Structure 1
Amino acid sequence: MSAGRVASIDIGTNSTNLLVCDSDGSTLQRIVTITRLGAGVDRTKRLDDDAIARTLSCLREYRSVLDELAVDRVRVTATSATRDASNGVAFLEAVEIATSSVPELLSGIDEARLAHLGAVTSLTVPPGFHLVIDIGGGSTELILGELVAGRPTVVAARSIDAGAVRLTERHFTADPPRPEELTNAIGDTYDLVDDVIREIPDVVRATHFVGTAGTIVTAAAVEMGQRVFDPAALHGFDLERAAVEDVFRTLATEPLADRVHNPGLPRDRADVIVGGLCVLVALMRRLDAPVITVSAHNLMDGVCAELLGAP
């Protein structure tokens, strides 16, 4: 019965995530654990010992889940924090022991491609250029796509060094952040997006925007006032720029002690959500995006789709 089950483990800057799918692509288990592997990496260029310990403990728990579900194939991937860290190779050796699988250190481009494949799953993408935005803890992937023979296809992709954890650590010292700190975080993102536009001019021709991963999903959950996380209600939700600006203004002006009480905002994301929203606000302003469609599917869905034979 379990033959053909596949799984993806994604070791990110802010969270370590598990997705298990049956052979027909249906979800058997999805777990998100905030491990904050990338804490301090922007400053030290090293993975912190405590962060490594938290992440390896989580991975050992995930290995037990894989054994319980008799998963046939698993792909373990690591992204921004591990790419940036001088001790990333040693960490990956420990990951192999914890998971009994050889991990892959994804390039920014591979991360973007898999995020695109996952994000557009079960969403209707209209003709013309579309842009998938995947805001992570350490980086943001921007993937320009279009329909080719009716199938969403990647045209170009770039990874920028702006994410929820990175901008929080780089810019915010006050609680709540001072206006000039917010301005600087948004300005940093503007500069990075302008670099992408110079390299890929067609980015400004995108007429449809899809957002995936924690920051965007959380922004939608806060806008909807979700008291119980409901990914099915979030998937396909159209988040207008005015709503994003409202959520940003609310959360950015509240001290952390108040911010954590907003419905839809997980407590373990509350300290970095404003950094992530700075990225989202900057992108929607700079690209003149009136609305972004939320995808509750992400890089892990892309990995599992490939394991199950997606072209």
Structure 2
Amino acid sequence: MTAVTVGGIDCGTNSIRLMIATVSENGMTVEVPRIMRVVRLGQDVDKTHRFDDEALARTYAAIDEFSAVLKEHPVDALRFVATSATRDAENRDEFEDAVQSRLGVRPDVIPGTEEAALSFLGATSVLESQDGPHMPPAPYMVVDLGGGSTEMVIGGDGVEAPADHPVAAFSMNIGSVRMSERHLVSDPPTRQQIDEAIADIDAHIDEAFATVPAGRTGTLIGVSGTVTTMSGIAMGLREYDRDAVDGAIVTVDDARTTCDRVLRMTRAERAEYQVIHPGRIDVIGGGALVWNRVLARVRDAVHEDSGRELNSYVTSEHGLLDGIVLNLGRRLLNS
């Protein structure tokens, strides 16, 4: 077997995505570009620890749509990965049963560490075609900022360990939906709400830094809808352009200024920005605050560790979903 066609579904707290690709020894070729639907599966899960019936209905509608696509594009294998919201939901069995009845596969509710490793695989896989002066310096720190959780994972330095090999990972229970629902409940948020959210975020980052040596970061790579949206706004895009954002290098200062501005906007003001997906308007402030703190803390850690300045990061459209598909394809090829 020299190539396999596989499908991957990434079911997160805010959105669900499908991608179909052919995987071979030479890499991955996308057959059906990623399809993304904002379903807010994690609505109120932080508070109730249960899936809301309306959230389940929205998610099932997207899954039925994905099922129709998969019937038109048969695959050798399909993996459905569920993350933060499903990990926390007490009634997740109901959800898992419904997915299996619709797709014929049961969701893999993966731990945060595996989510981090797959995000790292997806983000770094696109670097394999670069070399020489175009290759970003290792170690790579990949941050996947989701709706319910944020993963930090750092790879080797390319000497003692391969640059594309994760050496430390941590999953924090902070994300755009979770922070917005837990703290930023006013429109716009109050100073006290922001301060309480910052304290919450920083406590989680402290815990992550005890496991992940952030000070060694050579290149910071940010993935997920929050990061790509903040990058798009910082770049001055009038509407979202995936090709323009993917691989874009954004300065930390520009991104932090953008994050702070978006955080303090009203929902109506955010709705005027075509760069922001309509399904993110009410929670992007929480994500912006998480990304702002991650940028500040990683930059400080690098400076404290080595005196180097981490002035920018790489924006990537390749993360968990790419990692799911690539990992599944490689396992089939090696079986």
Question: Residue 126 of structure 2: which of 122, 125, 129 is its match?
Answer: 122
Match of 2:294 in 1: 283
| Cα offsets for 1:201-259 (capped at 9, x unmatched) | x2222131000011101111112233443222212111211111221232122211111
Tell whether the 8 Å contact from 2:14 to 2:39 is kept in structure 1 after alignment: yes
Deviations 1:153-172 (A, max 9, x none): 10010000100000000001
Aligned length: 308
Tell me, in whole angstroms, the C-alpha distance in 2 between the residues paired with 1:50 and 1:38. Answer: 11
> In the alignment, does 2:40 pair up with 1:11?
no
1:53 CA drift (Å): 1.1
Gapped regions of structure 1 (runs ≥ 5): none
Q: Distance in 2 between matches of 1:161 and 1:129?
A: 24
Instruction: Answer whether contact 1:145 1:153 (CA < 8 A) is retained.
Output: yes
Query: Hey, what does 2:191 align to over in structure 1?
Result: 179
Aligned match of 1:243: 254
| Mapping of residues 25-174 of structure 1, within 5 Å | 25-27=28-30, 28-123=32-127, 126-148=136-158, 150-174=162-186
Given that residues 224 and 264 in structure 1 are in contact (C-alpha distance below 8 angstroms), is that contact kept between their aligned partners in structure 2? no
Displacement, 1:151? 4.4
Which stretch has the larger CA shift, 209-218 or 234-243? 234-243
* 205 and 4 in structure 1: CA distance in 2 versus 1, 3 angstrom threshold: closer
Q: Is the 8 A contact 2:138 2:157 kept in 1?
A: yes
Equivalent position SS for 1:294: strand
CA distance in 2, matches of 1:127, 1:221: 23
Give the distance between the partners of 1:297 and 1:42, measured in 2 at CA.
27
* TM-score of the aligned structures, taking structure 1 as reference length: 0.94
**Identity across the alignment (%):** 35
Secondary structure, counterpart of 2:232 in structure 1? helix
Describe how 1:208-223 pairs up with structure 2 within 5 A.
208-223=219-234
Aligned-residue offset at 1:148: 4.2
- Once the two structures are overlaid, the 10-residue window that deviates more, 272-281 or 287-296, is 287-296
Partner Cα distance (2:324, 2:140) in 1 = 21
Over aligned residue pairs, what C-alpha RMSD do you find? 1.8
Unaligned runs of 5+ in 2: 300-309
Structure 1: how far apart are the matches of 2:91 and 2:326?
31
User: Aligned partner of 2:85: which letter?
Assistant: A
The worse-fitting range, judged by mean Cα deviation, of 222-231 and 281-290 is 222-231
1:299 corresponds, among 320, 324, 332, to 320
Measure, in 1, the Cα distance between the counterparts of 2:118 and 2:23: 19
Equivalent residues of 2:139, 2:158 under 8 A apart: no
SS at match of 1:5: strand
For residues 172-224 of structure 1, the C-alpha deviation after alignment (integer angstroms, 9 at most, x for no partner) is: 12101112212221221111111122234x22221310000111011111122
Q: Give the AA of the match of 2:62.
A: C
Matched, 1:191 2:203: yes
| Alpha-carbon distance, 1:80 to partner | 0.3
> 1:108·1:159 contact (CA, 8 Å) conserved in 2?
yes
CA distance, structure 2, for counterparts of residue 226 and residue 126 of structure 1: 24
Residues of 2 paired with 1:91 and 1:172: CA distance?
A: 28
Say whether the 8 Å CA contact 1:135–1:276 is kept in structure 2: yes
TM-score by length of 2: 0.87
2:243 is aligned with 1:232: yes
> What residue in structure 1 maps to residue 329 of structure 2?
308
Work out the CA distance in 2 between the residues paired with 1:12 and 1:119. Answer: 17
**1:60 match: secondary structure:** helix
Distance 1:146 1:234 in 2: 26
**Structure 2 counterpart SS, 1:76:** strand
Match of 1:253 among 264, 283, 289: 264
Whole-angstrom CA distance in 1 between matches of 2:114 and 2:177:
21
Secondary structure at 1:297 match in 2: coil
Instruction: Give the whole-Å Cα distance in 1 for the aligned partners of 2:56 and 2:214.
Output: 37
Note if contact 1:127-1:146 (Cα within 8 Å) is conserved in structure 2. Answer: no
